[in-house]
Copies of this chain bind each other. A is one copy, B any other.
Amino acid sequence: VTRELTVGLDIGGTKTEALIVDRHDQALGHAVQPTITGGTDAMLDAIVETIHAALANSGEDAHHITSVGVGIPGRVLPETGEVQHAVNLGLKSYPLGRRLTERMNAPVFVENDVRVAAIGAYHFVREHEDISSMAYLGVGTGINAGLILDGKVYRGANGMAGEIGHMVVDENGVLCNCGQRGCLETVAGGPGITRQAINAGITDSRTTTHELIEMAQSGDERARLVMKRVMQHLARAVQVLILSYDVEKVMLGGGVTNAGDSFRDLLLAELGEMKQHSDLVRLMIPDHKIEVLPPGFNAGAHGAIRMAQEKAVALKNGAG
Q: Which residues of A contact B (CB under 8 A)?
A: 132-133, 145, 149, 154-164, 166-168, 178-181, 236, 239-241, 243-248, 274, 277-281, 284
Contact = CB atoms under 8 A, between A and B. Distances in A.
Given A159-B246, A245-B161, A179 B240 contact: no
Contacts of A248: 157
Contacts of A133: 156-157
Nearest to A161: B246
A120 to B, nearest CB: 21
Nearest to A276: B179
B240 A280 contact: no
Contacts of A284: 160, 163
Given A156-B246, A167-B243, 4 more contacts: A157-B247, A158-B246, A178-B281, A179-B278
A160 B247 CA distance: 9
A178 B247 CA distance: 20
14 contacts: A149-B149, A156-B247, A157-B246, A159-B246, A161-B244, A162-B246, A167-B243, A178-B280, A179-B278, A179-B279, A179-B280, A179-B281, A240-B244, A244-B244
A168 B244 contact: no
A5 to B, nearest CB: 33
Contacts of A281: 178-180
A240 B156 contact: no
Contacts of A155: 246
A163 B133 CA distance: 17
B239 A178 contact: no
A279 B178 contact: yes
A248 B166 CA distance: 18
Contacts of A181: 277
Nearest to A159: B246
A181 B277 CA distance: 9
Contacts of A277: 179-181
A166 B243 contact: yes
A247 B147 CA distance: 14
A149 B152 CA distance: 12
Contacts of A239: 167-168
Given A133-B156, A236-B168, A163 B243 contact: yes
A314 to B, nearest CB: 17
